[in-house]
Structure 1
Amino acid sequence: MAEHPSRTPGRSLWRRYLDFPLIYKLAIALVAGAATGLLVGEPATALQPLGDVFLRLLQMLVMPLVVLTLIAGVSSISPARLGGIGLKALVFYLATSAVAITAGILLALAVSPGAGLAAPGQAEQSPEKAPPVTETLLNVIPENPFAALAEGNVLAVMFAAIAAGIALAFMRAGTDERVRGLGELLRRGVDAGVELVFLIVRGVLHYAPVGVFALIAVVMAETGADALLPLAKLTAVVYGGVAVQIAVYVGLMALFGIGLRRFFGAAREPMVTAFATRSSSGTLPVSTRAARRMGVDEGVYGFTLPLGATVNMDGTAIYVGAATVFVANVAGVELTVGQLLMVVLVGVLASIGTAGVPGAGLIMLSLAVTQAGLPFAPVALVAGIDAILDMVRTMCNVTGDLTGTRIIARTERGMMHEPEEAGDSGRTQGAAPEERAQAASPGPAEGSAPHPPG
């Protein structure tokens, strides 16, 4: 009894730290690290080992996260539903992700964030030379998947994981009861592995403020205030890229005759929620409500929104493209056209397996940096402002999910109807004639059973 009061404050302090939002912890660590480095100077470089621990933890998670989330994401799609709505959703999501990462790269090349800045210990590192494009494309198909894992061959690991995910999807949808049962058993094992990795990710994110504090302090101690402008440039590039991507969404919806006022009137709430929570998956209930307000049938949004929360990462793709150029500039490496193409390819493929949870974009950036043969140390600089970038890129991700859902519903007969909420019922009057025809059409999909999310 006498020891209980003395233990309670310690546990309470730890609980308060865990419950404190990560975005604020990282922001405090960024400011405190910058102040420490500028004020203390050279002695602050003694904090480097604390930052190295954070870098090693991130690198440790890359391959397990890629393998498990890719298999889980691909196997969640029924082979029968890969046609029709599923094919349209995948094409839309992957195409917009390719546009997004290209926009991020082009904007970063124009602004050159990170130019003239050196990461801690960068002088001792020499980036690996990337192989020719043809060799890289051939090496996408691994001779030995386990060797690819050990060697860190990101594209080969992705190929093997996608192939396993497709095979698992066919097992789960097969007619043989034994094979189907084995498929479900394997899927439960994959889901358990994903949860295990996410628990480790959450643990690493608890340590992230310490690592960010140490790394930023070392950078500021070695470079002084010169590091602030490149980080501000990178932030401006990512936010500008998101603005360009949303303009692309507006153009696509205008092309399909979709009312923008009604769309953004319904999408405003999930966009703000995504910005605040930094989680596409956490925003899913709000996005579902917005899709109903738009008049989208559950046969569409019940499939496209959960799929988009995993596959559609346009904002994250912008961030990866811009941050990869930033890392190359910090490393003093001029990226070749082949390397840039590989960054686009890795970014699009990685978007399939990037989970819609805070912090996953940093893992996705690690994949692109590794594939481009760049040093890993400059990623720590991006980690310092990752929370600031994560807010806007998550908002872009969710906006893209809703845009794709609305466009697909517009192109599928019978998938638009009167909004369920009375406050929105009058808005259908302003829709295009084709939309009113779809709303009145009793298409076969409207009478079908709701599809379970994911």
Structure 2
Amino acid sequence: MTRVFKFAMPFLQGSLVKQILVGLVLGIILGMAAPEAAKGAGFLGTIFVTALKGVAPILVFVLVMSSIANQRLGEDLHIKPILVLYMISTFGAAVLAVIASFIWPTQIALVADAESLAAPGGILEVFENLILNVVDNPVHAIATANYIGILAWAIAMGVVLRHGVPATREVLSDAAKGVEFVVRIVVRFAPIGIFGLVASTLATTGLEAMTGYFKLLAVLIGTMAAVALILNPFLVWLTIRANPFPYTWMTLRESGVAAFFTRSSAANIPVNLEICRRLDLPESTYSVSIPVGATVNMAGAAITITVLTLSAAFSLGVTVDIPTAIFLSFIAAVCAAGASGVPGGSLMLIPLACGLFGIDQNTAMQVVAVGFIIGVLQDSCETALNSSSDALFTIAACKRAERLGIKMN
């Protein structure tokens, strides 16, 4: 194992950000100059994203189980401050989306019938599905990337194995290190994968595909930018009482850029873990907070649900009063926390929010179809916001503990 690590170190220690930027530029050039060749290059992106999605479920299961099992009895993981930041950010994002939608109301042309798409029928159904996901068979949960079920089983097994013999906990620790090493190898291929994703996306959709929904995209992306550059830094400042922007820019640059192109919070878990590892944060904390954040920290999803729902209401001439808008923010935050960490995961929860305004399911599913049309940019920006804030809030909570002299490992 030592010889393997020694051989791989030069490959693992290069500047991943610079390599990703090179891949990004080359992908843009190829996508604009040779569209046909760029479409073929998309296979490289597909391989990369598929590999990330393949390793992410087993990584989350082994890492969380090992972290909890090897936690010393009586040791505090300090997860609560991170969860509070997740919740405040998600609800605050929904409120900002309501404000932006009232200031710049948008209307959409509802497209062809999308009856064939399936969406939850009510908020109770969301909670029913949540409970079913929690009690899912662990093998099935890993195979289908059911991260709620994976987390539930990993936490349960970790708690039980904390009382196991030291040899068992050591095996789990070695298994976690082995999986992490494999994941780091996969992540190092991000520049090639992003090159393929960018080239294929530009060649397939072109820049002109977005012009018809420019105003809607402007409200969506503008609100996400406000959360990323105003709300989240403010929350971090309240937490660490220091300049939040060095951490904000770093997480946006390293985590946000990668998540923008993979369009999956779950697939970006390894990137966030690497950031926390490089900053020498307590592994017992970030190995739990990052996977949990990829499941429940969904400020971008809350914005998408809120803006598209209000756009549908404005388009249909529905009057939206302040109390309903506030309640919509709460519903959007709850729905966002239940959104799956995969591309387009938030869109299928829009019909729940549309139900507040009496919008029928067929019409609501047409709004979902509009979401898929603009998803090239909307979902990419949404995932970049969601995933980068997972790392940002974990860093903030750990730095707060350092400032207060709280021992975290």
1:209 aligns with 2:190: no
- Alignment partner, residue 91 of structure 2: 102
Structure 1 segments unaligned to the other structure (5+ residues): 1-16, 37-43, 254-259, 289-299, 351-362, 416-444
Q: Which amino acid aligns with 1:321?
A: A
Matched residue type, 2:231: V
- Who is 1:39 aligned against? none
Tell me which residue corresponds to 1:359.
Answer: none
SS in 2 for 1:123: coil
Amino-acid identity (%): 10
Residues 118 and 326 of structure 1: is their aligned pair in 2 closer, same or farther, counting only changes over 3 Å? farther
How far did residue 172 of structure 1 move?
5.4
Distance 1:59 1:21, change over 3 A: closer
2:212 matched residue in structure 1: 226
Distance change in 2, residues 1:69/1:215 (3 Å):
farther
In structure 1, what is the Cα distance between the partners aligned to 2:142 and 2:161?
A: 29
2:231 aligns with: 244
Quote how far apart the aligned CAs of 1:340 are.
2.6
Hey, what's the Cα distance between the residues in 1 that align with 2:23 and 2:304?
21
For 2:305 and 2:331, how far apart are their aligned partners in 1?
10
- Residue 169 of structure 1, aligned match among 158, 162, 185: 158
Change (3 A) 1:133 1:194: farther
CA RMSD in angstroms, aligned pairs only? 5.3
Please give the alpha-carbon distance, in whole angstroms, between the structure 2 residues aligned to 1:407 and 1:201. 31
SS at match of 1:130: coil
How many Å separate the matches in 2 of 1:380 and 1:328? Answer: 15
Residue type at the aligned position of 2:67: I
Query: Residue 125 of structure 1 aligns with which residue?
Result: 114
Aligned residues of 1:51 and 1:215 also touching (Cα < 8 A): no
Q: Which digits, 9 at most, give the CA deviation of each residue in 1:133-188, with x for residues without a partner?
A: 23332332336538976997x8xx33321122124424654433675476457646
What's 2:263 paired with? none
1:244 offset after TM fit, Å?
1.9
Q: TM-score, normalised by structure 1?
A: 0.55
Change (3 A) 1:240 1:65: farther
Q: Distance in 1 between matches of 2:336 and 2:73?
A: 24
Q: Is the 8 A contact 2:93 2:303 kept in 1?
A: yes
Match of 1:244, SS state, is helix
Q: Which amino acid aligns with 1:232?
A: A
* Aligned equivalents of 2:108, 2:26: Cα separation in 1: 25
Partner of 1:321: 302
Note the C-alpha offset of 1:56: 8.9
2:356 aligns to what? none
Deviation at 1:238, TM superposition (A): 0.8
Counterpart in 1 of 2:127? 137
Residues 47 and 193 in structure 2, CA contact (< 8 A), matched pair in contact too: yes
CA contact (8 A) 1:85 1:408 kept: no
Change (3 A) 1:390 1:82: farther
CA distance in 1, matches of 2:98, 2:59: 31
Instruction: Determine helix, strand or coil for the equivalent of 2:120.
Output: coil
Once the two structures are TM-superposed, the CA of residue 77 in structure 1 deviates from its matched residue by 2.4
2:393 is equivalent to residue 400 of structure 1: yes
Aligned partner of 2:262 in structure 1 is: none
Quote how far apart the aligned CAs of 1:104 are. 1.9
Q: Report the residue type matching 1:94 in the other structure.
A: L
Q: Is the 8 A contact 2:251 2:392 kept in 1?
A: no
Which of 67, 70, 85 is the aligned partner of 2:76? 85
Paired AA for residue 76 in structure 2: I
- Once residues 273 and 398 of structure 1 are traced to their aligned partners in structure 2, the CA distance between those partners, rounded to angstroms, is 10
After superposition, give the CA deviation of every residue in 1:393-450 in whole Å (9 maximum; x if it has no partner).
6765554333312333455xx54xxxxxxxxxxxxxxxxxxxxxxxxxxxxx5xxxx9
Distance apart, 1:247 and its partner CA: 2.1
The letter for the 2-side match of 1:403 is A
1:170-189 correspondence runs (5 A): 170=159, 173-176=162-165, 179-180=168-169, 183=172, 187=176
Aligned to 1:68: 58
After TM superposition, give the deviation of residue 249 of structure 1 in Å: 3.2
Go from structure 1 to structure 2 and tell me whether the alpha carbon gap of 1:24 and 1:250 turns closer, same or farther (over 3 Å shift): same
Residues 85-144 of structure 1 deviation map (CA, whole Å, 9 limit, x = unaligned): 31xx3111122111112222222233348944469xx52523534233233323323365
* Structure-2 separation of matches of 1:342 and 1:163: 19
Matches within 5 A, 1:271-420: 271-278=248-255, 280-281=272-273, 283-284=275-276, 287-288=279-280, 303-304=284-285, 311=292, 317-326=298-307, 340=332, 342-346=334-338, 363-364=341-342, 366-370=344-348, 375=368, 378-379=371-372, 381-384=374-377, 396-411=389-404, 414-415=405-406
Gaps of 5+ in 2: 1-17, 256-270, 317-324, 352-364
Task: For 2:238 and 2:370, locate their aligned partners in 1 and report how far apart those are by CA, in whole Å.
Answer: 39
Letter in 1 for 2:377: G
Matches for 1:50-65 after TM superposition, within 5 Å: 64=54
Aligned partners of 1:160, 1:139: CA distance in 2, in Å? 11
- Cα distance in 2 between the residues matched to 1:92 and 1:322: 23
- CA deviation after TM superposition for structure 1 residue 234, in Å: 1.7
Contact 1:173 1:180 in 2 (8 A): yes
CA contact (8 A) 1:172 1:181 kept: no
Q: Does the CA-based 8 Å contact 1:323-1:382 persist in structure 2?
A: no
Q: How many Å separate the matches in 2 of 1:195 and 1:364?
A: 21
* Bigger Rg, which one: 1
Q: Secondary structure at the match of 2:121?
A: coil
Q: Alignment length, in residue pairs?
A: 343
Deviating more after overlay: 136-145 vs 182-191: 182-191
